[in-house]
Structure formats: structure tokens, C-alpha cells
Structure 1
Amino acid sequence: MTASPMTAARMTAALSQGLTLAWRSLVPLRNNPGQLLGLLFQPVFMIVIFVYLFGGAAGGDRAGAVAYMLPGVLVQVALMATITTGMNLATDIGNGVFDRFRTLPIARSAPLVGRILADLLTMLVTIAMSLAVGYAVGFRVTAGPLPALAGIGLVLLMTMALSWGSAWIGLVAKSVTSMQGAATAVLLPLTFGSSAFVPATDMPGWLTWWMGVNPVSHLAGALRGLMGGGLAAADVWITLGWSAGLLALFFPLALRAYNRRVR
């Protein structure tokens, strides 16, 4: 069953308007050097902390630590960046930005789509910076460009799914502070309780079980395999399943919460 021409035209217009509003969300970065520097240098700090300070937990040598931990750092930085989606939405709603959008002849969903797209673009910058710093400290992609790009695409897919979850929290939260606290409480156990930085075999039994079912462990494993040439098929499929499930859950929840807040 195909969409009617009118529906297709509306979807195309909503996407175009969303891209325009995504650009509107990125323009303020030019006048906010602190936020821009934080975006660029967060990967540097994470790599210094985990690779150089805690590198011994991944085999004892710097080369092994870089090969194991850099994909984990990239995953963590990307996932933690999804918190900004909800924070920015909560801020815009509190400042009345979405009330002004309602007076414009645009699709109701365009501001929400624009916010998600803008944050995905900033994540691309963060990922690129992470790879650049990783290359400087010795990380090398040995599986070829196509598997590496597939790995980055997998990270973006998972972050997009979690961004809709962050958007939902931001839309139902009472304040920016409560939104940040709730999202951090969810993401910290997922990222630090995973095998992104330390192999699960080095952990006690109960934590090994949690790492085995943790979606971040599978995402880090998939990225590690796709960039390093290891076997990652199971991790890839599990990550795709988690991404589809999270998107199916949070996309309608975010749209419903958005419609309630801006009506």
C-alpha cells in the first residue's frame, strides 16, 4: 500500500522543514565557543582517562588498550551526547521557542525532527574527533573503509534511537535539571556496566551476566569487530534489534508527549 501524493508531499515538506530547523539549532554554536570546544575535546579527555590511566585493564600494553578501548570510548561519547537532545528540548519549551514555532506555517513535527537531526550531526563531529584522536594515539582501522563506515552507521542508528528516548524524557520532565538527572541515571549503568572498556571475563559472575545482556556491550563489540576485522555478526544483529526496539518504543512516545506539550 503506497502513500497518497498529498501524504508524500507533506512528509517531504516536514523533512525539509526539519532540516532547516536543524541548521537553526547548529548556528548558535558559532557564538558559543565553550560548547563547541566541549564538543571537540570531550573525546580527548575520555581517551586520555580510559586509554592512558586505565589501559592496563585491557591487556597491559598501550597498543592493546587503544585497540580495545577506543571503540568503547567512541560508543560512550556518542551515547552520552544523546542527553543533550532532551536538555535542549526542555530548554526550548521552557523558553517558549516551540510556542513561536506554532505560529509558523510548518509541520507540527518539524521542530522535533530538526532537534534530532541537529544532534545527530553534532554526534558525527564527535565521532570524527574521536577517530582523529584515536589515530594520533595509535588506533588503526584494519578491516577496511566499508566495515568501518558500517560500524559508524550502527553507532548513529543506536544513538538516534536513544535520542528519541532522550527527547521523550525531556518532553515529560519538569525541568532541564530533572531531565539531565533521569537520563544520566539510565545511561551511566549502561555505559560503565558494559564491556566497552573492560572484558566481561575479568568481572565477577553477576556482572558478567549483566555485561552479556547490556546493549552497549553488543554495540561496542560490533564496532570493535567491524573496525578491527573480528567476528561481529552476532553483536551487529543484536544491536540492530535493540535499535529497532528502542525506536519503536520511544518514537511514538516522544511524538505523543510533544503533541501534548505544544497543543
Structure 2
Amino acid sequence: MIAQSLTLTWRSLIPLKNSPGQLFALLLQPLFMIVVFVYLFGGAAGGDREQAVLYMLPGVLAQVALLATATTGINLSTDIGNGVFDRFRSMPIARLAPLTGRILADLVTMLVTLAMSMIIGYAVGFRVQTSPPAALAGLGLVLLFTMALSWASAWLGLIAKSVSSMQVLSMGVLMPLTFGSSAFVPAVDLPGWLTFWMEINPVSHLAAAIRGCMVGGLEASSVWITLAWTAGLLAVFVPLALRAYDRRVR
């Protein structure tokens, strides 16, 4: 099953070389996010660019990775519409392999986006304040959480009636998670209901964990809450995605 998943991962990555627009989007999205949140909204994080970069770059890492999970469901929905999974059904491969291959391919592209984010962050003044192993642990948390969320995206892509409906569904889920978190703005001087949402939002804890790993002041609770959300998402959405896949290719 591992070999089949890796083969399908490669099959999902090959089209990137013929889609320069998609490749440029992977590379330019972090630049856009950093320019917008650091230079335009930087004052909310401490009043100067240096403090804004330290606070907001971990939030940018969380946001670009989470937004990239939408491509899992969109690509699955596209493959179903193109009849790709009808061919998989006739092949002697594990039923988990097409889904795992798709998610692994998207994790590879997420890794490229995260690397680009770190390069751009370094260019605008971000420096890791802890240690390289701690920074890598922060990036590992991002990949773990987004991998789990990709299974939720896969489920949405499999139950969606069309690619456009999948896009609407994914944005309806991701926007409140990313922009309704403390990834970019501390949860102070905000309405009580919004503060409450930020405190329970898993992305707030993910951003805090990344920030602690890279900048310092890590709170173990943020890491454990992020890991608990990761485990919960996997426990719920892996079975749901497999069931939806069986129904679509039956």
C-alpha cells in the first residue's frame, strides 16, 4: 500500500510542471500574505515592523498551510469529475492509496510553501529566536495539523456535487478558522464573543505553538491542544473520507 500511495503521490505532482500558474501561486502566496499582514497590519502586533514580523510570521505559516488544504478536496473533486477514480476502481490497489497519495502530494506542496514563507520572512527581518530543532518542531506541527485537516478537505471534496461547491464549502470552513484566530491579532480589546472564539479556535493554539517554537515563550498547552485536535480530526475524517470514497467509486 505504501508503494501504491507513493506512486499516486508522484502522479499528483507531475501536473505541476505543466501548470506554471499553480507553481507561481505556491511561491507568491507567502509573499502576498507577509506584505499584507506585516506591512499593512503590523501595528496591531507591537507598533514596529520587527515586532510585527516576530508575531505574525508564525501566523502566516499557519494560514498559508491551512488554505492549501483546500486543494486536496478541490483536486479530488476534479479527479472524480474527470473519471480518474473510475480507472482506479478497476486496478488492484488499496482503497486508501488514492486518498493517501493525494494528501501526501499536497503535503509536499505545503512544504514548498512553508519553505518559501521562511525565506521571505528572513528577507524582511524574521530570525528564529530559539534553536533550529525547535523551529523544525514548529514546522512539523504545521504539517501534522494540516495533514489531518486535509482529510476533512478530502471528505468535503468527495461529498461535494461539483468543484465550485467544494470551493465554497472549503472557504466557509477555512476563513473563520484562519481569520477568526489570534494568528495575526492578539485576543485583547476585542468583543467577548470574538475573544471566546479565538480562545477555542484550534488555529490560535497552532499559531501560538509555532510562535513559541520559533520565537520563545512556548506553552506546552498549545502543543498538546494542537496534537489533540490533530488526533480528533484524523479519528473523525479518515473513516468519513473512506466511506465517501467507497460511495463515489462504487
TM-score relative to the length of structure 2: 0.98
Letter in 1 for 2:85: F
Q: Which moved more, 1:40-49 or 1:198-207?
A: 198-207
* Matched position secondary structure for 1:202: coil
Aligned residue in 1 for 2:54: 67
Secondary structure of the structure 1 residue equivalent to 2:188: helix
Q: CA RMSD in A?
A: 0.8
Aligned with residue 32 of structure 2, among 38, 45, 60? 45
Distance apart, 1:103 and its partner CA: 2.5
For 2:189 and 2:81, the matched residues in 1 are separated by: 46
4+ runs of 1 displaced by more than 3 Å?
none
Indicate which of 174, 191, 196 corresponds to 1:187: 174
2:221 is aligned to 234
Deviations 1:97-132 (A, max 9, x none): 111122223222211110010001100000000000
Match of 1:158 in 2: 145
Match of 1:107 in 2: 94
* Match status 1:175 vs 2:162: yes
Q: What is the alpha-carbon distance in structure 2 between the residues aligned to residue 256 and residue 40 of structure 1?
A: 34
2:234 aligned residue: 247
Letter of the 1:63 partner, please give it. E
| Aligned residues of 2:5 and 2:98 also touching (Cα < 8 A) | yes
Count how many residue pairs are aligned between Structure 1 and Structure 2.
Answer: 250
Q: Following the alignment from structure 2 to structure 1, what is the Cα–Cα distance between the partners of residues 44 and 95?
A: 49
Report the Cα distance in structure 1 between the residues aligned to 2:16 and 2:87, rounded to whole angstroms.
21
Partner Cα separation in structure 1 for residue 189 and residue 26 of structure 2: 32
Distance (whole Å) between structure 1 residues aligned to residue 189 and residue 33 of structure 2: 21
8 A contact 1:74–1:130 mirrored in 2: yes
Does the 8 Å CA contact 1:194/1:217 hold for their aligned counterparts? yes
